[in-house]
């Protein structure tokens, strides 16, 4: 049995402590990245919910504009081209609403996926 091992044990212990600290730093980096992703997606989801309410109001206004335009068209106060523009405006509002609903659902799904992953690690 050797009494002196050339400080190998001390070096191994130091290396192990450095490795433990590196792993802690890596864990904190991953944790911060996940938190950042979670906050980004959460804020996007909140913004999409607000935008969804606005687009619903916009769609309602576009429908009212179409009703008014149809009445004016029937009375002869509105040309066919102007009526078509109002109809296109309604279609654009519907398209924007669908797009916002889609983006909101994507953000919601991403939040659920991330939250499940977080729960798996806890």
The reported pTM is: 0.71
Q: DSSP secondary structure string, 10-43?
A: HHHHHHHHHHHHHHHHHHHHHHHHHHHHHHHHHH
**Cα dist from 65 to 14, 19, 28, 56, 75, whole Å:** 76, 68, 55, 14, 15
pLDDT, residue 113, reads 85
pLDDT, residue 65, reads 96
What are the sequence ranges of the domains in the chain?
Answer: 8-121
Task: Give per-residue pLDDT as tens, 46-75.
Answer: 999 999 999 999 999 999 999 999 999 999
pLDDT, residue 46, reads 96
Both tokens of 43, joined, read 């804020």
Instruction: Give the least confident one: 6-10, 20-24, 99-103, 116-120.
Output: 116-120
pLDDT, residue 4, reads 72
Domain 8-121 has CATH 1.10.10: no
């Amino acid at each position: 049995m050797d009494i002196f091992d050339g400080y190998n044990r001390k070096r191994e212990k130091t290396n192990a402590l450095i490795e433990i600290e590196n792993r802690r730093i890596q864990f904190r980096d991953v944790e911060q990245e996940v938190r950042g992703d979670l906050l980004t997606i959460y804020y996007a989801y909140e913004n999409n919910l607000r935008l969804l309410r606005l687009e619903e109001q916009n769609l309602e206004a576009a429908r009212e504009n179409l009703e008014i335009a149809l009445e004016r068209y029937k009375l002869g106060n509105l040309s066919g081209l102007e009526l078509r523009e109002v109809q296109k405006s309604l279609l654009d509002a519907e398209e924007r609403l669908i797009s916002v609903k889609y983006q909101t659902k994507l953000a919601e799904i991403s939040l659920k996926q991330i939250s499940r992953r977080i729960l798996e690690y806890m």
